[in-house]
Structure 1
Amino acid sequence: MKKRRVTSTDVARKAGVSQSAVSRTFSPWPTQSGVSAEIREKVLRAAKELGYQPNAIARSLITQRSRIVGVLFSYLDNPFYARALELLCHGLQARGYHALVFMMSDTLQDIDSTVSDILQYQVDGLLTASVELSSKLCIECTERGIPVVMFNRTQDDPGLSAVTTDNIGGGRLAAKALLDAGCERLAVLAGWEGASTSRDREFGFRAELHARGAELFERANGNFNLEDTAQATRAFFKDRNPAERPDALFVINDYMAIRAMDVIRNELGLRIPEDVSVVGFDDISTAAQPTYGLTTVRQPINRMVEASLRLLFEQIEDSAAQPEHVMLGAQLVERHSVRRKSSP
């Protein structure tokens, strides 16, 4: 015979308090519950003896809040996004919320279908990272009153909040570092063409080259994929004379840059930075390891997560809160993958 579930009424009866006192004791906002220390102790003792656990689903029906936030990622291979997910989940839990994590492909059609499924869970908001959203989906979320915050992505939609690094400015920093080092044949290893991060970083890189009277020597796509990155790197350097190959490589993120460096050194036998200088973007932990010493453009990931959560909860708690685009400054971190400019 199935054992009957213990209810808050049972706990109230055993503790000798009202049912509302039990509800307030287990409220996600304990500092606002108005329960004295004595009553709280009675309730918790009775709950432990009876084996009671509060029903979050039942509470959500009363409060009209699921206290669940949908978190969308296309991939976690890149350590930058794995770290972002960890920080986002901790930040949500600290506020009494939980993450409902979904992985999806990069295609907008699949994303629309998956998010439609997520919305059935009555999530209080959506955080998206490494995901491009269609305008159709954004309109659907807005009409349902569901706040959406894009992390490390952006699009031209004033009704959508986004938090990014200054990717264009960061691309300019990368170009400046390579030009200041005396590099002349600068190439770009881009990411997925649909990603705003890749487009903006490359735009900034090209803009700085143009401002300095230089031209892009060569370009290829790594598609945020290690095998595509390896193939593109081989195409840049394999079986080519020094004057016919790049002497500098800007890779759109560190995840791809690390793979490119391995191919350059271990497969092609070239030296970094003597034969080719390399700059990445993100500043993942691997970039700082002595094996790589990758010069890169740092994204302030902690501040990005904090800003994303702030925007999300402002809109959850106040339906009149206006969407906002937060852009944080990028910083060049110099290590030893870029050659030093020779003295005149």
Structure 2
Amino acid sequence: MTRGPARRPIQADVARLAGVSQTTVSLVLNERDAGVRISPATRERVLSVIRELGYVANASARSLAGGRNRIIGVYTFEPVFPTTSLDFYFPFLLGMEQEAAELGYDLLLFTGVAGGRQIFRDGSTRLALADGALLLGRYPNVEEIEQLRDSGYPFVYVGHREVSGPPIPYVAADYARATQRLTERLFEVGHERVVYARIGNGDAQPSRDREKGFRRAVPAGDLRRPVGPVWTLESPDEVAGLLAEIRRAGVTAVVAEQHVLAQELLACGERQGMSVPGDLSIVVLGDSTGARGDDTPWTGLVVPREQMGRQATRLLVRLLKPAEEAEATEAAQCESAECPLVPGATVAPPPVPSRQRRPRRQPRQTRVSTS
């Protein structure tokens, strides 16, 4: 007769062999006493039986029972791999993994299933397998985020995300402050005509944050320095036209929202005999993560993706603490991560207009008499 596979030990087996109730086993597993004193000897006896049986708690059952699995979920609104977005997400995931390990948590990555990526299916969510979740993505489903918030499930969004109704917890890069500092730097070295340019409609929150920083850098009442225009292109194919407008308007510096836009400005300018930063200074507001074959020492900022992953993980763990363990003062649920600035080599003082250049002195000519 063939024997079937050995039955997996359950919590009742642990309680029976340890001579305690299942409630006691549950309290030991969840590292809580719920006001019930458990002696060190009883706790050690339960743990000894758990080791002997090789018992592993069922994560789903613990979640349904309100316990903690010490598991943090990670949900992305776009595929993580094996697509070109791998480079974009990697630093975030690295920071999350390192911080979770230091805090004693495991990460559980939720991927898409047939029918597309959805947080909710038939009114329920698979995220409940984890104690809480970290959400990230450039193109999220805002309705699902709001539904998750209203359900009471703990989560933190990685990136600045505004929703209708009560705000959600998030950790965002401080694009506004970094953009303001970079734009101010252009004014400090002498530029008076500075403009902002981007590809896309600018509706995304990170784009609005960057533009806000640019406008803050313009001194109030200084008519020499424009509060705009903000040029919005539909595609890189329009960069040649943008460059023509820049030259016609006497613009000497551009704050480029995207790395690809800066690359196109540089290439198009070189074809027209312009140099960067000799004729045009360029500041870049997006780092070159995922870019290939570009060794230009851009002046700009670094998106602190790894730091954002770490901060978001710490914030989520704080939100997971029971009320009695939380700090007396309510911790902020929205945090920012500073964007380091890169000096680069694409910013210089503006060129001196030809009409202001001192004329070159001609050598004195002496008439020689032949008589």
1:291 aligned to 2:303? no
Match of 1:236 in 2: 242
Q: Is it true that 1:99 corresponds to 2:108 in the alignment? A: yes
Question: Which amino acid letter does the alignment assign opposite residue 91 of structure 2?
Answer: R
Which secondary structure does the structure 2 equivalent of 1:262 belong to? helix
Are the aligned partners of 1:129 and 1:153 in contact in 2 as well (CA < 8 Å)? Answer: no
- Tell me the residue number matched to 1:145: 152
Q: Secondary structure at the match of 1:209?
A: coil
Asked if structure 2 preserves the Cα contact closer than 8 Å seen for 1:187 and 1:250, the reply is yes
Please give the secondary structure, in 1, of the residue aligned with 2:120.
helix
Q: Give TM-score, length-normalised by structure 1.
A: 0.69
Q: Alpha-carbon deviation of 1:190?
A: 5.0
Residue identity matched to 2:242: F
Partner of 1:309: 313
Question: How far did residue 199 of structure 1 move?
Answer: 0.6
Comparing 320-329 with 271-280, which one deviates more in the overlay? Answer: 320-329
Q: CA deviation at 1:162?
A: 2.0
Tell me the equivalent position of 2:76. Answer: 72
* Counterpart residue number, 2:365: none
Q: Would the aligned equivalents of 2:279 and 2:350 in 1 still touch at CA under 8 Å? A: no
Name the aligned partner's letter for residue 56 of structure 1: A
CA distance in 2, matches of 1:206, 1:78: 33
SS for the counterpart of 1:203 is helix
* CA deviation string 1:10-40 (max 9, x = no partner): 9969xx86798xx79x95869x996899997
TM superposition score normalised by structure 2? 0.65
| CA shift in 2, pair 1:5/1:303, >3 Å | same
Matched ranges for 1:262-281 at <5 A: 262-266=263-267, 269=270, 270-281=274-285
Q: 1:155 corresponds to which residue?
A: 162
1:219 to 198, 207, 231: 231
Alpha-carbon distance, 1:292 to partner: 1.8
Tell me, which stretches of 5 or more residues in structure 2 are unaligned? 33-37, 358-371
Q: Which residue of 2 aligns with 1:4?
A: 6
Name the structure 1 match of 2:59.
Answer: 56
Using the TM superposition, give the Cα deviation of residue 61 of structure 1 relative to its aligned residue in structure 2, in angstroms: 4.2
Are 1:188 and 1:202, in contact at CA under 8 Å, matched by a contact in 2?
no
Distance 1:234 1:3, change over 3 A: farther
Q: Call closer, same or farther: CA 1:324–1:154 in 2, change over 3 Å.
A: same
Native 8 Å contact 1:80 1:284 kept in 2: no
1:339 aligns with: 348
* 8 Å CA contact retained: 1:27, 1:33: no
2:178 maps to 1:170: yes
* RMSD over aligned Cα atoms: 4.6
Q: Distance in 2 between matches of 1:33 and 1:74?
A: 49
Whole-angstrom CA distance in 1 between matches of 2:137 and 2:50: 44
Note closer, same or farther for the CA distance 1:342–1:163 as it changes in structure 2 (3 Å cut): same
The structure-2 alpha-carbon separation of the partners of 1:154 and 1:10, relative to structure 1 and needing over 3 Å to count, comes to closer
Distance across 2 between alignment mates of 1:261 and 1:132: 23
Determine whether 1:250 maps to 2:255.
yes
> Quick one: distance in 1 between partners of 2:176 and 2:279?
27
Indicate how the Cα distance of structure 1 residues 305 and 53 shifts in structure 2: closer, same or farther if over 3 A, else same: same
**In terms of mean alpha carbon deviation, does 307-316 or 265-274 score higher?**
265-274
Shift of 1:198: 0.5
Say whether 1:201 aligns with 2:210: yes
Q: Distance in 2 between matches of 1:139 and 1:286?
A: 31
Shift of 1:219: 0.6
Give the 3 Å change call, closer, same or farther, for CA 137–338 of structure 1 in structure 2: same
CA distance in 2 between counterparts of 1:304 and 1:73 reads 17
User: What amino acid is aligned across from residue 135 of structure 2 in structure 1?
Assistant: T
Matched-pair contact (CA < 8 Å) for 1:75–1:130: no
